[in-house]
């Protein structure tokens, strides 16, 4: 798996809608888990690494750098 593929996987996981399951195992959406999630490129972060910028509802922002080690 490449850094880009892993970044896309994390992006998909972090942007999934939260929800509850009803009796028929269907999800009732309740909104996104986080306020905003974008790639370094989309957020204009000047970096040579792959990564994500994650914003939470309280205004906090986190940067997740992705580096393949093996």
- 14 CB-near residues (< 8 Å, 6+ apart): 33, 34, 37, 52, 54
pLDDT of residue 28: 55
pLDDT of residue 21: 54
- Average pLDDT, 10 consecutive residues per value, the chain (70 residues): 91 72 55 77 90 87 92
**Prediction pTM value:** 0.70
For the chain, the domain total comes to 1
pLDDT of residue 60: 87
């Amino acid at each position: 798996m490449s850094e880009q593929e892993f970044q896309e996987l994390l992006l998909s996981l972090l942007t999934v809608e939260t929800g509850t399951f009803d009796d028929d195992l269907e999800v009732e959406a309740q909104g996104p888990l986080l306020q905003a999630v974008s790639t370094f490129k989309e957020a204009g972060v000047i970096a040579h690494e792959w990564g994500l910028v994650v914003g939470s509802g309280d205004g906090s922002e986190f940067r997740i750098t992705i580096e393949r080690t093996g």
